[in-house]
Amino acid sequence: MTEFAPGDRVRVRPAGKPGHVRTPGYLKGHSGWIEGVIGHFPSPEDLAYGLSGQPKRPLYRVGFRQADLWEDYAGATDDHLYADVYEHWLEPGGKE
Amino acid sequence: MSGPHDLGGSSGGPIDRSGHEVEDWERLADAINSALGSKGLQTTDQHRRAIESLPDYLELGYYERWAAATEKLLVEKGILSQAEIDEKAGEIERRWGGS
């Protein structure tokens, strides 16, 4: 029961969200692909305030091209970065 | 909202790779954290949030953040009052202080 499947193009939501967040700022607004579904977990962003974190949220491993993340990236074009991102931080789309 | 901890990808200057001996109070801060966790009084997620919201985050060392965040959580949860903590800290300072 996930919105995204491996291979789907996704974009990390660019807008901030108040409070404790678990998505690093350098990914916001950037596009990548779903590498895999890690599982469903209580949201740590709610657990951080003593809440239940329910319902459990899908957590994905999301792949990004390093060259898409860093303007001056000088490494190989197929260098990738993988990050664990919760579903509520992702939206469909983003160019190849 | 990104907190002061969210530094990934920004240039931070040279990294200090010199060794650091763990001090007794740092071990104690770690132990207190574990004890509070095992008693269900504090979770890692809560502690992390408290650490990231410290106004003086960038000025504090690693375990200073831990101790300050634990203090903040204990007050927030009503387990200890700020006055109780300050009183005890003052007592310890008088007992162990240099003078």
Beta strands in chain A (DSSP E): 9-12, 31-41, 57-65, 80-86, 90-92
Does A4 reside within a domain? no
Shortest CA distance from A69: residue in chain B: B9
The reported pTM is 0.86
Does A60 reside within a domain? yes
pLDDT of residue A12: 96
CA B1 to chain A, closest CA, distance in angstroms equals 5
Report the alpha-carbon distance of residue A74 to residue A60 in Å, rounded.
27
Shortest CA distance from A48: residue in chain B: B46
Does A61 reside within a domain? yes
Task: Give chain B's domain count.
Answer: 1
- All residues of chain B having their beta carbon less than 8 Å from the beta carbon of residue A70 are 9
pLDDT tens-digit readout, B53-99: 999 999 999 999 999 999 999 999 999 999 999 999 999 889 987 55
Instruction: Tell me the residue range of the domain where A28 lies.
Output: 9-92
Q: Which CATH number belongs to the domain containing residue A86 in this structure?
A: 2.30.30.50
Does A3 reside within a domain? no
pLDDT tens-digit readout, B33-49: 999 999 999 999 999 99
Q: What is the largest CA-CA distance in chain A?
A: 43
Task: Give chain A's domain count.
Answer: 1
Q: Nearest Cα to A88, choosing from A52, A50, A59?
A: A59
State percent of chain A over pLDDT 70. Answer: 97
Does A2 reside within a domain? no
Does B44 reside within a domain? yes
Report the alpha-carbon distance of residue A93 to residue A8 in Å, rounded.
8
In a mutational test of the B interface, the residue from A26, A28, A30, A73 whose CB has the highest number of chain B CBs within 10 Å is A26
More confident residue, B99 or A46: A46
Does A69 reside within a domain? yes
Q: Do B48 and A21 touch (CB under 8 A)?
A: no
Q: Is B49 on the interface with A (CB under 8 A)?
A: yes
Instruction: Tell me the residue range of the domain where B72 lies.
Output: 27-96
